[in-house]
Amino acid sequence: MSRLKDKVALISGAASGIGHSTALRFAEEGAAVVGFDLNAAGEGWQAIAACAADCDFHTGDVTCEGDVMAAVEQVTAKFGRIDILVNAAGVSSYGATTDVDEEEWDRVMNINVKGSFLFAKHVARVMQQQQSGSIVHIASVEGMDGINGQLSYGTSKGAVIQMTRNMAADLAQSGVRVNCVCPGAIETPLTAALRDDSMKAIKQQMEAEHLMGRFGEPVEIANAILFLASDEASFVTGHPLVVDGGWTAGTVLAL
């Protein structure tokens, strides 16, 4: 498979979850893959390195503009271009309107929104010079539907959806496409707490919200990201692609 042959892809949040699965799928499709994460690459990165056209990994903080700029500069210096940016770095958060403190609000907004903004800002400058490129943010269905106890997270993902539209408008004339994926609940480290016995009832309730009756797997989101990043989506920009097992499609009644 070679849908991303000769492409250079930079992926934040690449050490685990959706970011890691996306890095692996991109490598399988022939891309040179560069990961970025606050955490080290880990053993799982070996599988990516084994099949990528080229491979690199940078450790840094998406909320620190200096770290982001350094990574973008190093990738550009090594490869001469950046064709794809995937902003998969993110954190979850729980708390209702009257419970969320300022520190937690800022933490979630900084990582989920500011981090994506900073990477897009600096990678877009490279892509504008190339007159080509694809940026894919990771939003969520929680940025489209309100859920109790999810104020910070839902608000941050709603912001990512709107940021996608604004960036698409800013960059379209430069040949740069900007889209986002809106996953439902996915089996990643962000949802690991729901596997605890004390959270069993909530997890079952969330599973039932999906028409398919289950959480998604990271690779199922990675496949959607692959489409948006590839030339197959050449006429798609400013679009929030919902990949949620039917969460937002409707309700099945027991008739």
pLDDT of residue 192: 58
pLDDT of residue 130: 97
CA 69 and chain centroid, separation: 19
Does residue 200 sit within a domain? no
Q: What residues make up the domain containing 150?
A: 8-187+217-243
Where is 119: in which H helix or E strand?
A: helix 115-130
Segment 135-180, tens digit of pLDDT: 999 999 998 988 888 899 999 999 999 999 999 999 999 999 999 9
Q: Which amino acid is at 249?
A: A
Does residue 47 sit within a domain? yes
pLDDT of residue 244: 93
Does residue 65 sit within a domain? yes
Rounded to 10 degrees, what is the CA torsion of 198, 200, 201, 203?
Answer: 130
Q: Name the active-site residue from 153, 177, 181, 194.
A: 153
Segment 49-66, tens digit of pLDDT: 999 989 999 999 999 999
Separation CA 137–CA 192 (nearest Å): 22
Q: What CATH number is associated with residue 238? A: 3.40.50.720
Does residue 196 sit within a domain? no
pLDDT of residue 189: 72
94 is catalytic: no
The number of domains in the chain is: 1
- Sequential DSSP letters for 123-191: HHHHHHHHT-EEEEEE--GGGTS--TTBHHHHHHHHHHHHHHHHHHHHHGGGTEEEEEEEE-SBSSGGG
Segment 176-217, tens digit of pLDDT: 999 999 999 888 776 656 666 766 777 788 788 889 888 889
- Give the global pTM: 0.94
